[in-house]
Amino acid sequence: MELKQKLEILADAAKYDASCASSGTDKRTSSDGKGIGSTTGMGICHSYAPDGRCISLLKILLTNFCVYDCVYCVNRVSSNVARARFNVEEVVNLTLSFYRRNYIEGLFLSSGIIRNPDYTMEQVVEVARVLREVHDFRGYIHLKTIPDASPELMARAGLYADRLSINVELPTIASLHTLAPEKDGQAIRRSMGHLRLKIDESKDKTLTGKKPPRFAPGGQSTQMIVGADATDDRAILDTSANLYGAYKLRRVYYSAFSPIPDASKMLPLKSPPLVREHRLYQADWLLRFYGFNTEEIVTGNDGMLDLDVDPKMAWALQHREQFPVDLNSAPKAMLLRVPGLGVTSVARIISARRVRAIRHDDLARLRVSLKKILPFVVLPDYHPGHSLDHHDLKQQMQQVMPPQQFGLFEPV
Ligand code: SF4
């Protein structure tokens, strides 16, 4: 099969994986004339989808042949799709030539499972090794690891990759058992635990002060498919909170289930609304950076996020008694709960109010949506009056920021 034809098949097959943002790695460059590529700097094409996904990586599968039969996956063994397989040299050459043309900033490599997990993982690691050791490639590499592969292979992957990821695939171990019976949810978590230890070790200085070997400086991430099973948003976010806490993941990516050809009857016929995926990302940020817990974020009795307004707004609308918040005296934790105020604007407010009182005019300089925050704050020269009591406040807020979700494969 022609290389171009393989690329068409294996790049298309990789598009279902959303876990490829390139944040958080260490800086390397070849601007001194040594090596090739860099993880930062001029000449690298960064392109992000509106929800933050990096789309400038060469994102391919080594192969879409797979011996497993996960019912939600287009590459499962029983699926009737065109199959292809790259060899190591082909992936290396594609990465280098695309990099030289400035099409990409790095490589995201995943694979179906051929023969067995160790054999597959060896091939994936070999691509990264050849890029690093033979070609001195200094660009970004994200390897999707195979959960059941040996810890030794995982350890080698971490030497070459910037980021490693293992997909938990589904929000609960029970769902995984039903829809991907060959996968072992406990083994996935064990592998994440091993990676966490290796990543932590790589950050420790030994007693001699010697730097430990590099290991996946961009940390580890995972992906969960949303809407392939009946798990509600509360349980999804509980799983995320657990993964962040137990394995120090950099990111949990949420990928709305896309119906696949010849799908099993166990799967829904339709994708969930894409805005659900968007709300989960917003809720995920509240968990990690805004001091919310899952119970607070999920305001619906049905365990689902409100799709009409963002999760912070939904919480504020249900807790109107906690507003208006005085921007000049409220603690940081409360400022972070004001709809429309982000982490950066809260930091600016705290710094500015040390010098003098913040007034209405100052808000414009914070570049925040005034319509969104004004009902919830009080200032020396501004009071929201009875706006918090308006029965149609939610509708007003919906008009300020109507929900908008871009599809993963739509042009941006
Ligand atoms: S192991 Fe991965 S590639 Fe294979 S069927 Fe399952 S999800 Fe698809």
What are residue 36's DSSP bridge partners? Answer: 137
What are residue 147's DSSP bridge partners? Answer: none
Supply the pLDDT for residue 264. Answer: 86
Closest-CA residue, ligand 1 atom 1, reads 68
Q: pLDDT of 224-248, one tens digit each?
A: 999 999 999 999 999 999 999 999 9
Supply the pLDDT for residue 33. Answer: 72
Q: Is any atom of ligand 1 closer than 6 Å to the C-beta of 76?
A: yes
Residue 47 pLDDT level (bands cut at 50, 70, 90)? very low
The predicted model scores a pTM of 0.85
Q: Is any atom of ligand 1 closer than 6 Å to the C-beta of 325?
A: no
Classify burial at 51, counting beta carbons within 10 Å of its beta carbon; exposed 0-12, middle 13-18, buried 19 or more. middle
Question: Which of 67, 69, 113 has most ligand 1 atoms within 8 Å of CB, for mutation?
Answer: 113
> Which residue carries 């974020």 as its tokens?
297
- DSSP code for 179: H
Mean residue pLDDT across the chain: 87
Q: Is any atom of ligand 1 closer than 6 Å to the C-beta of 73?
A: yes
Cis peptide before 272 (omega within 30 of 0): no
Supply the pLDDT for residue 44. Answer: 34
Question: Looking at this protein, which amino acid is placed at residue 343?
Answer: V
**SS3 state of residue 286:** helix
Which of 201, 223, 195 has the alpha carbon at shortest distance from 213? 201
Question: Which of 66, 83, 144 has most ligand 1 atoms within 8 Å of CB, for mutation?
Answer: 66
CA 291/CA 389 separation, integer angstroms: 26
Q: pLDDT of 249-280, one tens digit each?
A: 999 999 999 888 888 889 998 889 989 999 99
